[in-house]
Amino acid sequence: MFLQEISTISYEDIEKFRQQIDNDGNFNRKVGENLLLLLDRQDQFEKSSMLGKLFSHYIRGVLDYDDFLRLATCVDRASVKDLRLLPDYYVNFESLDFQTVQDLYSSGLASIEKPRTLGSAVTRDPLVKFVRNDAGGRLAQILAAN
């Protein structure tokens, strides 16, 4: 599944990445070790495919290494069902049930809106408001792409 996703990377992008690995032994070890750890932790094959999409975006320069790791961690924490539906969730975010949004938040794919302040006092809203965040939006976009 992972290999199938990275098989679409252009020869030029693979060569550029290979040269980067060949020229920097620390980078080679860091990327290789982290990738193996991420793949080893996956409990479902579908997540390996998602990691392959993320890694191919990293190799092509769409994601930097830190963003790749951040989104890979989100994939690791989220349920496959939530990841499968993430692009739809982000279109209809306001209509999601509380449990789903809470699960997205726990995975790093949603945020809590900052409390409003009035002078030096923080207003006390009885409800927590979850909102879309950059990580969830980027991952939704990557997973929706073919």
Boundaries of every domain in the chain: 1-77, 79-146
In eight-state DSSP terms, residue 8 is T
What is the CB-side half-sphere exposure of residue 56 using CA atoms within 13 A? 21
Taking 90 as the threshold, does the pLDDT of residue 34 lie above it?
no
Confidence band, pLDDT 50/70/90 cuts, at residue 43? confident
| Euclidean distance between CA atoms 123 and 141, whole angstroms | 34
Task: Give the pLDDT of residue 4.
Answer: 77
Ramachandran quadrant class, 79 (left: phi over 0; alpha: psi -120 to 50; beta: rest): beta
Task: Tell whether the model's pLDDT for residue 41 goes beyond 60.
Answer: yes
> What mean pLDDT is predicted for residues 31-60?
83
The torsion defined by the Cα of 96, 84, 69 and 38, in degrees rounded to 10, comes to: 130
pLDDT for the residue numbered 116: 62
Full-prediction pTM beyond 0.85?
Answer: no
- Cβ contact 52:2 at 8 Å: yes
